[in-house]
Amino acid sequence: MARCVIDPDPVLTADDIIRGGACISGTHARLLRLRSKVAAAMPASTIKEMIPENEHAYVDRAAGLDGYGYGYGYGYGDGDGDGDGDGYGDGDGDGDGYGDGYGYGSQ
């Protein structure tokens, strides 16, 4: 079975952080203040070291490390099998019948 592996420290851009929920103006202001230390893309752990802890959720969300997400999958399976068993049952039915009869009587 194929498994999805999540990078524990993905490289992110400012655009990723904004898509993670941070406002554009706040992200821009933070980048201006830190411009001498910021690269175009940086590991999430490095970004979190540069910002206040109350803003770490934006980085976690952008990195897909916050426990929320969505996905799509496709699968195919094939199999063979055999078996045996016991059972019981009851039911109702209709039918036609025929027969011979005799009778007696008095007058």
Distance CA(53)–CA(29), nearest Å, equals: 17
Tell me, yes or no, whether 71 lies in a domain: no
- Condensed to tens digits (0 to 9), the pLDDT of residues 47-84 reads 999 999 999 999 999 988 877 556 666 666 666 666 66
Tell me, yes or no, whether 57 lies in a domain: yes
Q: Where are the beta strands (DSSP E) in 1-107?
A: 11-12, 42-43
Range of the domain at 31: 11-63
Q: What is the tally of structural domains in the chain?
A: 1
- Name which of 81, 103, 10 is nearest 48 in CA terms: 10
More confident residue, 87 or 31: 31
Q: For the whole model, what pTM was predicted?
A: 0.56
